[in-house]
Structure 1
Amino acid sequence: MRKNIKITAAVAVTAAFALGLSACGTDSDPAAKGETGAGADTSKPLVVGASPTPHADILNFVKKNLAEKAGLKLEVKEFTDYVLPNTATESGQIDANYFQHKPYLDDFNKKNGTHLVPVVDVHLEPLGLFSNKVKDLKDIKPGQTVAVPNDTTNEGRALQLLAANGLITVKDGVGTNAKLSDITDKKGLEFKELEAATVPRALDDVDAAVINGNYAIEAGLQPGKDSLALEKAEGNPYANVLVVKKGNEADPRVQKLEKLLNSDEVKKFIEDTYKGSIIPAFGQPAKS
């Protein structure tokens, strides 16, 4: 029986409270009992937080088809934002998460003082430019509005996608850290910054929008087919990673999941299910 549990912003206060407890090393803190890392109780399920699509879908494929044979009990909890999975992993409410790329993780750690580390790369979600109002890049004209994700790494990534397709010009050298203030020529476009998860819902209110691959798929879009422009996979640093709190990489359950997520079976599942909109990107994460 599937045991996905959706966690929404309503539990943000609980997550923050648990984070405070973990910092104090109370008896409820698994780390205080020696229950993490190599000493983790392998008879307990590994609880992994994930965005619904494709992360939870991939994890549930592993749970249904691969985990039992590997001796892994796996529980999947679905999150619908980009903050709570990390705070819940930091606090020990969950054991791991799978929803983000390493540049976002690095930025999150820096801003929040968390101690989260990537374990293994799994897949790439190419960022795409979509529109319900124009059919081709050349139809995007001065005076029109483009929505972009408002978190640091994805906004920079979105601006570079627009620059690569000639819609804007950005300062040399800013890379994926680009901000709206780094645009040197907007070419008459206006920009609307939105939380990544809400961008697909804004498609009818703007002329075009840069949407993360997972949210595009959840909205019924096919990035490989429906986008006006799509990120290239070659040399792309934005592979989505399995993440744990530092010290828990040695948890035998985490190591089993790491291997399963990079298995031939998962590769085939991703390719057959997402048909190029999600791409396998196996291997070790890049060094910080």
Structure 2
Amino acid sequence: MKKILSVFLVLLIVSGCGAKKGDDDKIIKVTATALPHAEILKQVVEPLKNEGYTLEINVVDDYKIPNTLLDDGTIDANYFQHIPYLSDFNKQANSDLQWALKVHYEPIAIYAGKKDTLDAVKEGDTVLVPDDPTNLPRALSLLEELGWIELTGEKLRLKDIAVNHYNLDIKEIQADNITPLIDDADYAIINGNYALAADITQRGLQAESISQEKVDEIVNVIAVRKDDLESDKTKALIKAFSDPKVKTFIEEKYAPSVISTLD
């Protein structure tokens, strides 16, 4: 995942406007990115209210902010990242944040650019792919699944393409910058969250096939401080996500760009 240059967009207090100072033990502060995370969080407002808690959602579009705020104790939890990103932050910041709940994953998919069907692929077509080490291998595996390329055992970088059947012009682009360029390419491989934000999910042609092992790796999680894994707030938040309405919302609103992993 890449940093998106920004700061706080808005502090959104979605319920409990009557909360008083001194009631912080009944306020759960969660930082999230806008789509789909903040929208999903809104679905747990009422379940938390039933447990006596007010949910405050801080909406950001800078991936560095949520873990920093969690690490310094400003917030109680965050929801924006997968486990490898969390692990990397812990390593870089000498921190020990922990995931508390697996909520959803976002398959990458190939989207129509200038061509609206996979059958239209021709010699020399341009395909945009994310350039980061998490998503580039997934993009290359999808192209191999389509039968457009063949990979060596590594499947990590463009140099691992052993056979390029259509002599595709595969361009590495920062993941969050692909959607603005989609109409200049024949095809583009895009993460689900960016497709949602750009409102282009209807242009999806085929999603990646994902093993359970890969789902466990890329699933987006609720993260908390290690000392708060068993706190009342964390337990209440996890319980709120078990409300069937949350999973139904994800399935009806976002599938197949977002897939729930909730029970």
| Interval of TM-score (by shorter of Structure 1 and Structure 2) | 0.7 to 0.9
Whole-angstrom CA distance in 2 between matches of 1:123 and 1:213: 11
Contact 2:105 2:259 in 1 (8 A): yes
Distance 1:181 1:248, change over 3 A: farther
User: How much does 1:211 deviate?
Assistant: 1.1
The change in CA–CA distance for 1:234 and 1:77 in structure 2 (over 3 A counts) is same
Match of 1:248 among 191, 204, 228: 228
AA aligned opposite 1:206:
A
Q: 1:260 to 1:215 in 2, by over 3 A?
A: same
Q: Say if 2:254 is the partner of 1:274.
A: yes
Q: CA deviation at 1:80?
A: 1.6
Q: What is the correspondence of 1:7-86 to structure 2 with a 5 Å cutoff? A: 9-11=5-7, 43-63=25-45, 65-86=46-67
Provide the rounded CA distance (Å) in 2 between the counterparts of 1:182 and 1:162: 12
Poorly superposed stretches of 4+, deviation over 4 Å: none
Q: What is the letter of the counterpart of residue 25 of structure 2?
A: S
- 132, 155, 179: which one pairs with 2:157? 179
State whether residues 105 and 261 of structure 2, in contact with CA within 8 Å, keep that contact through their aligned partners in structure 1: yes
Partner of 2:168: 189
Question: May I ask how many residue pairs the two structures share in their alignment?
Answer: 242
Structure 2 distance, partners of 1:180, 1:83, is: 28
**1:49·1:96 contact (CA, 8 Å) conserved in 2?**
yes
1: CA distance, partners of 2:124 / 2:67: 38
- C-alpha contact (below 8 Å) 1:47/1:96 kept by paired residues: yes
Q: Sequence identity of aligned pairs in percent?
A: 38
Measured in 2, the distance between the counterparts of 1:128 and 1:149 equals 11
Task: Give the corresponding residue for 1:35.
Answer: none
Query: Which of these residues, 207, 232, 237, is aligned with residue 209 of structure 2?
Result: 232
Instruction: Report 1:151-230 matches (<5 A).
Output: 151-172=132-153, 174=154, 178-187=156-165, 188-222=167-201, 225-230=202-207
1:275 is displaced (CA, Å) by 4.2
Per the TM alignment, residue 112 of structure 1 is displaced from its structure 2 partner at its CA by 4.9
Mapped partners of 1:44, 1:247: distance in 2: 18
CA contact (8 A) 1:42 1:252 kept: no
SS at match of 1:117: strand
Q: TM-score, normalised by structure 2?
A: 0.81
Using the alignment, how far apart are the partners of 2:78 and 2:101 within structure 1?
11
Q: How far, CA to CA, are the matches of 2:124 and 2:139 in structure 1?
A: 19
- Structure 2 distance, partners of 1:143, 1:179, is 19
Counterparts of 1:179 and 1:259, CA distance in 2: 41
Give the superposition deviation at 1:154. 1.8
Q: Which runs of 5+ in 2 are unaligned?
A: 9-22
Q: 1:118 to 1:206 in 2, by over 3 A?
A: same
Change (3 A) 1:50 1:239: same
Contact kept, 8 Å, 1:128 with 1:210, in 2: the verdict is yes
**Residue identity opposite 1:140 in structure 2:** V
Counterpart-to-counterpart distance in 1, 2:48 and 2:26? 13
SS at match of 2:58: strand
Structure having the higher strand fraction is 2
Distance 1:80 1:226 in 2: 24
Q: Partners in 1 of 2:120 and 2:44 — Cα distance? A: 43
Gaps of 5+ in 1: 1-7, 13-40, 284-288
1:43–1:88 distance in 2 versus 1, CA, 3 Å: closer
- Residue in 2 aligned with 1:103? 84
Identify if the C-alpha distance between structure 1 residues 150 and 207 changes in structure 2 by more than 3 Å, giving closer, same or farther: same
Q: Is the 8 A contact 2:43 2:245 kept in 1?
A: no
1:180–1:72 CA distance, 2 compared to 1 (3 A)? farther
Alpha carbons 1:80, 1:197 under 8 Å: kept = no
Q: Is the 8 A contact 2:31 2:66 kept in 1?
A: yes
Deviation of 1:11 (Å): 4.3
Give the aligned residue type for 1:60: K
Q: Say which is worse superposed, 126-135 or 111-120, in terms of deviation.
A: 111-120
> Where does residue 126 of structure 2 map in the other structure?
145
